[in-house]
Amino acid sequence: MSAHTEPVLPAAFDDLLHAQRVWDTELPAFDPEPTPPAPLPLFRTWFAEAVAAGQAEPHAMSLATVDAEGLPDVRTLLLHGTDERGFHFATHATSAKGHQLAAHPHAALGFYWPAQGRQVRVRGPVVRCTPAESHADLHVRSTGALAAALTGAQSEVVGSVAELHRTADAAWERATADPDTEAPTWTRYVVEPAEVEFFQGDARRRHIRLRYRRAGDGDRGGAGDGTAGVGWTRELLWP
């Protein structure tokens, strides 16, 4: 057995686990008092600050859904955009998460930016965007993203790694030859936030948690900052 595949024994794993440091760096301060009345401007600011701090893949997020039995499921994917409607992502409507969202159109998102000890949590209903938005979402991205969307049936069983490679190579060739080709099941979704929580970690565990809760709905168009026709309640939570 090669060195990189040898199992780590439980005691050694516990030692390794407990030796890990948490936020072993200077963390930014967070004053919740002057924060904006709606969460989206603060999210965009924190995102830009995560990028400036060198956070790897700051647009990566966890997406939690529930299946037909009500059991939770979670995976990591990428944020595709934000607007007055909410937080956008995309996947195949025929994937596991696509089926779960069709049956239970609610989800939670989790962003973690350890470079600054920050988390953002989002909860709310999920709606499908228009076919035109879904098409545009896929074709504004890279050839690799289009090839991935054309590879196999997401979440279904594949027979072997060799089959995966053959199908992926064929999909890449197709995406390169016809960059406007369709992926009919590709769907853009938006999580309409009912709650958004901002968490700022503190080395002395005096974490600041600021939660926005949607207090009303109206015409969401116009402002582009998540404030039009929507009232938000802000509240501090114990860490």
Confidence of residue 229 (pLDDT cuts 50, 70, 90): low
pTM: 0.87
pLDDT beyond 60 at 5:
yes
Helix (H, G, I), strand (E, B) or coil at 63: strand
Q: What is the mean pLDDT of residues 173-192?
A: 89
φ, ψ (nearest 5 deg) of residue 74: -150, 150
pLDDT at 219: 40
Distance of CA 226 to the CA centre of its chain: 18
Tally Cβ neighbours within 10 Å of residue 84.
Answer: 19
* DSSP alpha helix (H) spans, the chain: 10-18, 39-52, 96-103, 131-139, 143-149, 161-177
Tally Cβ neighbours within 10 Å of residue 209.
Answer: 17
Cα separation, 55 vs 111, in Å, equals 12
pLDDT beyond 90 at 155:
no
